Chains A and B, each alone.
Chain A
Amino acid sequence: MKLYCLSGHPTLPCNVLKFKSTTIMLDCGLDTTSVLNFLPLPLVHSPRLSKLPGWVSKDGTINLEKELKECAGRVFVDAQPEFCLPERELLDLSTIDVILISNYHCMMALPYITEHTGFTGTVYATEPTLQIGRLLMEELVNFMERVPKAQSATSWKNKEIQRMLPGPLKDAVDVWMWKRCYSMQEVNSALSKVQLVGYSQKVELFGAVQVSPLSSGYSLGSSNWIIQSHHEKVSYVSGSSLLTTHPQPMDQSSLKNSDVLILTGLTQMPTANPDGMLGEFCSNLAMTIRAGGNVLVPCYSSGVIYDLLECLYQFIESANLGTTPFYFISPIANSSLEFSQIFAEWLCHNKQTKVYLPEPPFPHAELIQTNKLKHYPSIHGDFSSEFRQPCVVFTGHPSLRFGDVVHFMELWGKSSLNTIIFTEPDFSYLDALAPYQPLAMKCVYCPIDTRLNFHQVSKLLKEVQPLHVVCPEQYTQPPLTQSHRSDLMLELQPPPMPYRRCSVLNLPFRRRYERIYILPECAVIVALT
């Protein structure tokens, strides 16, 4: 049994498991941090961004002024942003039998895997994962296609040239693998290969292996997976949470008795407490509004935003923000809010009980009804005429490189009354802000990551007792910046098997038995003799 590791990003995994002659891909996360190297895509013509000087090496020998622009002391690529794909050379992708998706954040690379690679297998995901994943892909495509940029930049990727560039471009890895965003047509074709599954559903693969998704408590429809035969069991844990937020609680007991447990998707903010961050988020928001400033919240259009809105629903009255308009701007804002209300089966017990009444499970329905929360597909159209300040705006993309958020950065960045509050943990906020410097607006960093922390995961592992644990190498040592924090790593006996991008691990498995069936006629003979 082998594990091929196609992604080095611990929270956006992409691994392939070969088990009993089936080839199973576990998640296909898309590493979007690469877009931080690109210039923002403004929705409205920006004089500042259009007049940036091109980059020429100090000695004048390399002239890339068409491709690279200097902005706020850094060099950025002036082209449509590109993403870092999972490794595609380590094994033949056409041999993959099935892809198991654990949550909608971990499927964004799907079209790159299923299209134009000869892939003929099936993708398994829960209904909320499929529906919200589709929305997020639609949003991404929309963000890119709305601001078309014809030119593509490739010269800088030449190894000889890249070596000469200033950081962080110089240190970017696998730049030749970076790809532009897929098209809606590719998204539709990729998602047509998805087959829906429910929690604890047992799916037979070729009669050899049985796979089954379990609730992981992280997001709507998020799952961990059990991959087992009659005598061997592999658990795949990805993006799980033990906090009480909106999704159904995590199913821990079914992970017991695993021979191997593949552990990915732990919190990216092991030292930040989500509850504390939520408090800080609210207080900073109130403070800014009271002082007459605007609040910008760059966020994904599904997920933590539901919790933020729920928190604000309780907070608005007590903080006297009843008249402050809250805007949610995204091409999928309406769909995301509507979809969140129809997945009763996938919600925590409290929310299910509300549906039985019948009431909408999320209170943002009421915020919308009372006109406190308004949603728009983009800053163009109705929004521009209805927009009042001071206000709170939720919009994407959290990288600040594309989407409507770019416009608000240009609009509000120059005033110290305004505040930008980062809640998504996926991007370094300093890197995200780099092309907008110098900024006068206040920056608050309240990353909310509800995934398991090291304390929770070691408790979990003690309980479910897998024989072996496989995890990204990042989890086997303390974070670079906090090398003394030995509590921020996995310490296990036997030690976990670390993997990195392009690793191929031989999983320590000794298969001893196989299940067969004896025909009743034959069994009768055996019983008689």
Chain B
Amino acid sequence: MPEIKVTPLGAGQDVGRSCILVSIGGKNIMLDCGMHMGYNDDRRFPDFSYITQNGRLTDFLDCLIISHFHLDHCGALPYMSEMVGYDGPIYMTHPTKAICPILLEDFRKITVDKKGETNFFTSQMIKDCMKKVIPLNLHQTVQVDDELEIKAYYAGHVLGAAMVHIKVGSESVVYTGDYNMTPDRHLGAAWIDKCRPDILISESTYATTIRDSKRCRERDFLKKVHESIERGGKVLIPVFALGRAQELCILLETFWERMNLKAPIYFSTGLTEKANHYYKLFITWTNQKIRKTFVQRNMFEFKHIKAFDRSYADNPGPMVVFATPGMLHAGQSLQIFKKWAGNEKNMVIMPGYCVQGTIGHKILNGQRKLEMEGRATLDVKLQVEYMSFSAHADAKGIMQLIRMAEPRNMLLVHGEAVKMEFLKGKIEQEFSIDCYMPANGETTTVTTNPSVPVDISLNLLKREMALGGPLPDPKKPRTMHGTLIMKENVSFMLVSSEQALKELGLNEHQLRFTCHVQLQDPHSDADTLHRIYTHLKSVLKGYTIQHLPDGTVIVESIVIKVSSSAEDSNTKVLLLSWSYQVKTWTLFLEGLPMQSKPGSSPNHLVIESLF
């Protein structure tokens, strides 16, 4: 039986460093190639030596697919393709291809220029790596090679995020990347057709959460920001430059407009303008409302939100600042945080998930004293709020996706083990399918049971269909006769036996059944035969009945001959002979309009009625 193997190199019972290997139908595919925000050492990137110790990755992988531009899904890409070495195809959607290099460059700058790390990928490597990328369109079926095909579906989550359906023959796997099942202010909801994959590999960030309505969360968020501004505090919102940032910007922009607020909103410089421009050019990837109205009013042209300058952080009075990165692990958001942390009037709102090891994670866990570089400690006095705005599917959403795709097996990644365990139980209970949650480096093997494609000769199909009457009944199974031919390099063929004999160059041998029936009749042999012929002609309407000059009567394929018995010329011996296809014989008999005596055999019936 064929097998599909799935091995996470990252994101196995963990969030971050997404990188999953799939072996299906003799093809090896890597899904995502991310970095881990929580580590600064080797554990930052997936362990590619798992795939091969010294060989080139290109020889072992048929393709690499990146689901979206977040660094925990694409951050290790230049390292893998340029430093470890991979020249095969890399697939991602157009927006991801556009935005991914910018985030990678940003990541590189922070790591190399600010932290002074060496042995890291260079700007040139990012460029070279992006040259290997083949853009994917939604729903386009891409033929990676003759057997492997992939198809992208809309995933919500961030601009350009995609789920991907991977198919070899009749086996298939779906990988969701990160996705969102409820539309928000700027993105639509994920959607997939009933593709019935053998395995559905789903993220499970919010495996145990069923989030309250989005409207409530938004109202809460606005209320907190508003209160803070009212009492003259400063609000820091650490975000990724692209993604939740635009969502919250749209939210604040409309709120400021409605409430006629004056406090400034800033967006940390650099990426802002550019980021919003991507949203304008890739407007077809946003939700329906924005797409519909973009000609009249482009939602990504903000009136109240202005570019931030480092010096503004010390300005007196209230303000709201969006700053990158989102987990407070480096860069501008961390700098501003350090400045504002001491004042209890201020507030930091964490709008997304924070990976273990980051400052974001620490303060969310209530830590109030932070050890900073150089042994300094930082007292956290400002208010810390957590608001889940990250666009991941919650437990309800994950179940909804399973209902959509109807997978045969489920495999969870991109989540915490304890939460996965809970969801796994729920899935197995509700859908009665197996659910797996391999750890990093652990392989899950699923046995598949694919149907075998066969080409049937149309002649045969039509002939067999016709036997069951004019309209075949789809509800009733039927036996059909044919010969299955397996030849090398050709798909299986199901043909009629005559054709099979011809193809194979074999002679046909016929198997016939015969029986002798004795009866009393004083006429000559020829007359007896003629009487049988005329009788059959009268009772079997619609059958071809022939009286041949060589002294035989043929009814369809049944041969009847008459001879006198050697002892008594009044005793005639009837020879009946028919081929092994009993059906014809039965049909022949069904056509006879006479009463059958219980227990009498069919051929006696024929004879009795004659005399």
Contact = CB atoms under 8 A, between A and B. Distances in A.
Interface in B168-190: 170
Contacts of B94: 344-345, 352, 355
Contacts of B282: 342, 344, 355
A47 interface: no
B453 interface: yes
Interface string A435-466: 00000000000000000000000000000000
Contacts of B466: none
Contact of A516 (B137, B139, B284, B494): B494
A14 B262 CA distance: 59
Interface string A333-356: 011001101111100000010011
Contact of A199 (B137, B450, B492): B137
Contact of A520 (B142, B450, B484): B450
Contacts of A338: 294-295
A360 B137 CA distance: 19
A249 to B, nearest CB: 14
A247 to B, nearest CB: 14
B497 interface: no
Give the interface centre of A335, A511, A516 by most chain B CB atoms within 10 Å: A516
Contact of A518 (B97, B140, B277, B452): B452
B461 interface: yes
A437 to B, nearest CB: 39
Interface string B515-529: 000000000000000
Contacts of B449: 520
Nearest to A522: B452
Given A345-B137, A512-B458, A513-B493, A355 B452 contact: no
Nearest to A127: B284
A341 B454 CA distance: 47
B559 interface: no
Nearest to A336: B295
Contact of B141 (A127, A202, A344): A202
Q: How large is the interface on A (under 10, 10 to 19, 20 to 34, 35 or more residues)?
A: 35 or more
Contacts, number: 95
B138 interface: yes
B457 interface: yes
A334 B451 contact: no
Contacts of B97: 356
A52 B265 CA distance: 65
Contacts of A343: 284
Given A201-B139, A519-B451, A520-B449, A360 B281 contact: yes
A198 B142 CA distance: 11
Contacts of A513: 455-458, 493
A515 B453 contact: yes
Interface in B432-491: 449-459, 461, 484
B132 to A, nearest CB: 15
Contacts of A342: 280-284, 294
A198 B98 contact: no
Interface residues of B, number: 38
Give the interface centre of B281, B283, B284, B493 by most chain A CB atoms within 10 Å: B281
A200 B98 CA distance: 22
Interface string B110-150: 00000000000000000000000001011111100000000
A514 B453 contact: no
Nearest to A357: B98
Interface string A499-529: 0000000000001111111111001001000
Interface string B277-293: 11011111000000000
Given A342-B284, A512-B457, A520-B449, A356 B137 contact: no
B274 interface: yes
A207 to B, nearest CB: 12
Contacts of A231: 455
A197 interface: yes
Nearest to B1: A520
Contacts of B455: 230-231, 513-516
Interface string A183-203: 000000000000001111110
Interface string A109-150: 000000000000000000100000000000000000000000
A276 interface: no
A257 to B, nearest CB: 14
A198 B454 contact: no
Give the interface centre of A197, A355, A358, A511 by most chain B CB atoms within 10 Å: A358
Given A342-B282, A344-B281, A344-B282, A518 B454 contact: yes
Nearest to B274: A358
Given A352-B94, A516-B494, 10 more contacts: A197-B139, A198-B139, A360-B281, A512-B458, A513-B456, A513-B457, A514-B455, A514-B458, A518-B453, A520-B449
17 contacts: A200-B142, A201-B140, A230-B455, A338-B295, A339-B295, A344-B282, A345-B135, A355-B282, A356-B98, A358-B281, A360-B281, A513-B455, A515-B453, A515-B454, A516-B455, A516-B494, A520-B452
Task: List the 4 shortest-distance A-B pairs measured between CB atoms, nearest first.
Answer: A517-B451, A513-B455, A356-B98, A523-B452
Interface of A: 127, 197-202, 212, 230-231, 334-335, 338-339, 341-345, 352, 355-356, 358, 360-361, 511-520, 523, 526
